[in-house]
Amino acid sequence: MILHLLPTRTAGAAENMAVDFLLLQRYPQPAAPRFRHYEWRAPACTFGYAQKIAAVRELLAAQARLQSPDTDGFRLDLCRRPTGGGLVDHRADWTYALVIPRGHPLEEARATQSYRLIHEALAAALRAQDVPAATKPAADDEAPDSGGVCFQRAEVHDVVHTVTHAKIAGAAQKRNRHGLLFQGSIWRPAVAADATGFDWERFEADFVAQLAAALGATAENVPWPEFNEDEVSGLTEQYASAEWLEFR
């Protein structure tokens, strides 16, 4: 099995979310797992599919007041994700998506298991550069978060700093008949605070190697898939629309 490594691209929030969804729905080699790291054209935030827009706007306004009276959270490129989870600020993160095809053992595993295994691979890549990282263990008395700001609180199997206990990485998942979409975010300040000169290119290579091992695959660089451009633009328009943003 080959783990397809797609080229890094920069786009707006709606297009990034549309492409991630199309990687799940329309990938030309549907039996291959695929991975991409991507960047943001403008300061952006995304939020979970099930979150209510009024609550998201309240969270953004509160963050803006804490950061600076001159910060306007509503000027961020804001988009609802196709996956779950909480509000994610992408202004200082390292973002990736992984699609595991239908029928792969990890796709068929419980959501908690796939979440743990992927984050264990991520933590191992961080430790390769001396960042003390591990997945957060389960606690019997800890209830899961119903969906707030992603990096304010670490959930079970998130990646945390083993000394400061700060959250380093989180993710959200969507599973359907095509497979599993895993959208992940790493908070760069939490890494850089402990590892001056952290090499993000090396991290990506180490992370991909760990993921390939977990998937029982060999990683290979591949060209960008030839999606139908009308479908890409149409889905991007849908994700950018007020109807999608505010339907909850």
pTM above 0.85, yes or no: yes
Q: Which of 9-13, 73-77, 152-156, 205-209 is predicted least confidently?
A: 73-77
- In this prediction, residues 197-226 reach a mean pLDDT of 96
- String of DSSP letters for 11-24: E-HHHHHHHHHHHH
pLDDT of residue 63: 76
Who has greater pLDDT, 24 or 59? 24
pLDDT of residue 72: 46
CA distance 227 to 213: 28
pLDDT digits (tens, 9 = 90+) for 35-52: 999 999 999 999 999 999
pLDDT band at 188 (very low <50, low <70, confident <90, very high): very high
pLDDT of residue 75: 77
pLDDT exceeds 50 at position 190: yes
CA distance 30 to 50: 27
pLDDT exceeds 50 at position 215: yes
pLDDT of residue 62: 82
Q: Helix (H, G, I), strand (E, B), or coil: what is residue 201?
A: helix
Q: Torsion over CA of 28, 221, 97 and 210, rounded to 10 degrees?
A: 130
Count the Cβ atoms, other than its own, within 10 Å of residue 28.
10
pLDDT exceeds 80 at position 33: yes
User: Is the torsion defined by CA of 36, 41, 46, 52 positive or negative?
Assistant: negative
Helices within the chain (DSSP H only):
13-25, 53-67, 105-108, 111-127, 188-192, 200-215, 229-240, 242-245
pLDDT of residue 151: 52
CA distance 105 to 241: 36
Do 100 and 30 contact (CB within 8 A), yes or no? no
pLDDT digits (tens, 9 = 90+) for 141-167: 454 454 555 556 788 999 999 998 899
Do 120 and 188 contact (CB within 8 A), yes or no? no
Who has greater pLDDT, 152 or 110? 110
Residues 6+ positions from 206 with CB-CB distance below 8 Å: 124, 125, 128, 129
Which residues is 5 bridged to in the sheet? 35, 221
Residues 6+ positions from 197 with CB-CB distance below 8 Å: none
pLDDT band at 71 (very low <50, low <70, confident <90, very high): very low
pLDDT of residue 196: 66
Domains delineated in the chain: 2-245 (3.30.930.10)
| C-alpha count within 13 angstroms, C-beta hemisphere, residue 185 | 28
Which phi and psi (to 5°) does residue 149 adopt? -95, 125
- In this prediction, residues 73-80 reach a mean pLDDT of 80
pLDDT exceeds 50 at position 96: yes
Q: Helix (H, G, I), strand (E, B), or coil: what is residue 28?
A: coil
pLDDT of residue 141: 45
